[in-house]
Amino acid sequence: MRLHTTSPVFLVADVAATISWYRENLGFDGLPFPEHPPHFFGIMTRDDVEIMLQQLDGYEKPDVYEKREGGVWHVYVRMEGVRELYEQVSQRPGVTLLEPLCEQPYGQVEFVVRDPNGYAIVFSERKT
């Protein structure tokens, strides 16, 4: 027996708008389901990373990031090229940086963005 991967599932108020934001700001591809509105589900991918979306009309995610020292992460993405991605993402006006690029004491270089639904996404690379 072997587990392969995990895919977080985010509750969102608007699947199509969320896919559009991830495409424009983080380079993800995405497909809403059904193909034509109203959408109730979506899958977004970039390389080996997959995030699923479920639409819940009127949903607002509670903001818990500020309530805990160090914040609260919803997805931790391990990657190569974190500095390059940071340079691209940090220049985009639609992106809210929660934490700038920094070296962590646990051997990672990472930064944190908030998506339009309030989810905190960490992009991280092992320090070389």
Domain presence at residue 96: yes
Q: Is residue 3 part of a domain?
A: no
| Cα angle 99-51-39, degrees, rounded to a multiple of 5 | 120
Residue 65 binned pLDDT confidence (cut-offs 50, 70, 90): low
In a domain, 119, yes or no: yes
Residue 97 maps to a domain: yes
> Do 34 and 81 fall within a single domain?
no
pLDDT at 3: 83
Element (H, E) at 88: helix 82-89
C-alpha Rg value of the chain to the nearest Å: 15
Does any domain span residue 78?
A: yes
Cβ-contact 21, 115 below 8 angstroms: yes
Does some domain include residue 69?
yes
**Per-residue pLDDT tens over the stretch 29-53:** 999 999 999 999 999 999 999 999 9
What's the whole-number mean pLDDT along residues 97-110? Answer: 96
Look at the chain and report how many structural domains it folds into: 2
Distances (CA, A) of 18 to 23, 58, 81: 9, 14, 24
What are the pLDDT digits (tens) for 74-85?
Answer: 899 999 999 999
Q: Are 72 and 108 found together in one domain?
A: yes
